Amino acid sequence: MVVKLYGQVTAACPQRVLLCFLEKGIEFEIIHIDLDTFEQKKPEHLLRQPFGQVPAIEDGDFKLFESRAIARYYATKFADQGTNLLGKSLEHRAIVDQWADVETYYFNVLAQPIVINLIIKPRLGEKCDVVLVEDLKVKLGVVLDIYNNRLSSNRFLAGEEFTMADLTHMPAMGYLMSITDINQMVKARGSFNRWWEEISDRPSWKKLMVLAGH
């Protein structure tokens, strides 16, 4: 059965789910929700996602929202299909979960407001909070140093294999790399840059970029 994903393919959170689908070889259909016209806030979408965000999925009678929860669900449901995103042992899975949590609580809390201020707000004709962005960049640099140290002795965040720990970072990283200052911050950190160049060369990412019109 084809999974219906409600969202906008250029948005980071739907991209997280789409990357999971592409890595696992799961058939999907994208039902476009136009974020620029705030379609996600309309009553019909609020029935799928009561907080007015994207993505949401429908898989037969099963419905789910929140991109990380959706990705974990399908990585588990199709554990034996496509890329193993969860880890090969209890200990490995714990490390995958650890770095996936790091993405949520240490990386994304900085990356998201940077992207909103430097990319989303200008597109909507809104003013960027320059002071906030500069503060966030400093904090992001500290976080990237920790990642760089981790990746100096590990090919991927959870070890020697690509997992959900890496995948969950990719949509925000794609946006950050389009920002000159951040791009330079990444390239100045050799191990982190090597990691990004490798994961962004994966077929799933290339297919996603085609879907997103890049």
Among candidate residues 50, 30, 32, the one with its CA nearest the CA of residue 41:
50
Look at residue 201 in the predicted model and tell me its pLDDT.
Answer: 98
AA identity, residue 156: F
Q: What's the pTM value of the predicted model, to 2 decimals? A: 0.96
For residue 5, give the H/E element and its range: strand 3-7
Superfamily for domain range 3-82? Glutaredoxin (3.40.30.10)
> Dihedral, CA atoms, 139, 141, 145, 148, nearest 10 degrees?
130
**Cα 202 from Cα 38, distance rounded (Å):** 32
Instruction: Enumerate residues 6+ apart whose C-beta is below 8 A from 99.
Output: 157, 158, 165
The per-residue pLDDT for 23 is 98
pLDDT in tens, the chain (214 residues): 899 999 999 999 999 999 999 999 999 999 999 999 999 999 999 999 999 999 999 999 999 999 999 999 999 999 999 999 999 999 999 999 999 999 999 999 999 999 999 999 998 899 999 999 999 999 999 999 999 999 999 999 999 999 999 999 999 999 999 999 999 999 999 999 999 999 999 999 999 999 999 8
Enumerate the domain spans of the chain.
3-82, 90-202
Distances (CA, A) of 50 to 41, 104, 174, 203: 9, 21, 27, 33
Q: Are strands 56-59 and 3-7 parallel, antiparallel or unpaired?
A: antiparallel
pLDDT at position 214, please?
83
CATH class of the domain whose range is 90-202: mainly alpha
Helix (H) or strand (E) holding 30: strand 28-32
Cα–Cα distance measured from residue 86 to residue 100, given in angstroms and rounded to the nearest whole number? 10
